Amino acid sequence: MKIRNSLLAYRWIIVVGMLLMTVAVRAPVRADNAGMMTPAPLATTDGGEIYHGLCQGCHMADAMGAHGAGKYPALAKDPALTSSTYVAITILAGRSNMPAFGVKHGAGAMFFSPTALGYEQIAAVANYVRTHFGNHYTDRIKAADVAALDKTI
Ligand code: HEC
């Protein structure tokens, strides 16, 4: 009886130990992947929050871009942003080394794929980058426009 009890206790220690290890291993992975790699859907439809949560990891907080291990273009004063269609398609389907954020294009499908953005969120962040960081485009793209574009690509 005594041996049985201590065996049970031993088993518990292993179970608890394994649980703790899972937490210890998972925690840093989650911290590193916060934002751009977490497939959990983003609740906000605020363009600024989406930019600073998902895009600034590559394009930087001031949208000046970065050069280093990769080349991330500046969105600040970027003439390519003249076309809201170009911006929306880039976010939906990705471009060269930029990942896609549209569900149809694989975003959110796997743990390591980027967070999927809905059409309203894509419109919001497109409008945000086109009206911030020295960009002053006054026309706005709507969720319905993004949805229509997604059918064509
Ligand atoms: C993992 C890094 C990464 C993330 C995250 C990212 N981008 Fe990009 N983005 C890039 C790269 C790399 C390019 C350049 C692609 C190319 O070579 O054409 C780019 C290009 C762009 C362009 C085209 C710029 C131009 O001058 O042609 C826009 C617009 C853009 N990104 C917007 C966004 C927005 C908005 C988000 C957030 C929803 C975002 N990006 C998230 C890496 C990223």
What homologous superfamily does CATH list for 35-152? Cytochrome c-like domain (1.10.760.10)
pLDDT at 19: 44
Average pLDDT of the chain is 83
63 lines ligand 1 (CB under 6 A): no
129 lines ligand 1 (CB under 6 A): yes
pLDDT at 40: 56
What would the two tokens of residue 88 be? 């929306």
- Which pTM was predicted? 0.79
pLDDT at 112: 86
Helices of type H across 47-83: 47-50, 56-59
| Residue length of the chain | 153
Q: What does the pLDDT look like over 110-126, one tens digit per residue?
A: 988 999 999 999 999 99
Whose Cα sits closest to atom 11 in ligand 1? 98
3-state secondary structure of 67: strand
- Site of tokens 């229509």: 148
Whose Cα sits closest to atom 39 in ligand 1? 55
d(CA 23, CA 75) in angstroms, rounded, equals: 37
Rg of the Cα atoms in the chain:
21
Q: Mean pLDDT by 10-residue block, N- to C-terminus, for the chain (153 residues)?
A: 55 48 43 48 92 96 91 96 98 96 95 94 98 97 98 97
pLDDT at 68: 86
CA of 2 to the centre of ligand 1 (A): 64
Closest CA to 98 of 73, 130, 125: 73
The best mutation among 58, 86, 113 to test binding of ligand 1, ranked by most ligand atoms within 8 Å of the C-beta, falls on: 58
pLDDT at 29: 40
What would the two tokens of residue 69 be? 């291990």
pLDDT at 86: 98
Whose Cα sits closest to atom 17 in ligand 1? 96
Any residues with CB less than 8 A from the CB of 74 and at least 6 apart, and which? 59, 60, 63, 64, 65
User: Which atom in ligand 1 lies closest to the alpha carbon of residue 125?
Assistant: 35
d(CA 97, CA 104) in angstroms, rounded, equals: 18
Domain ranges of the chain: 1-33, 35-152
* Residue 42 CA to its chain's centroid (Å): 8
pLDDT at 58: 95
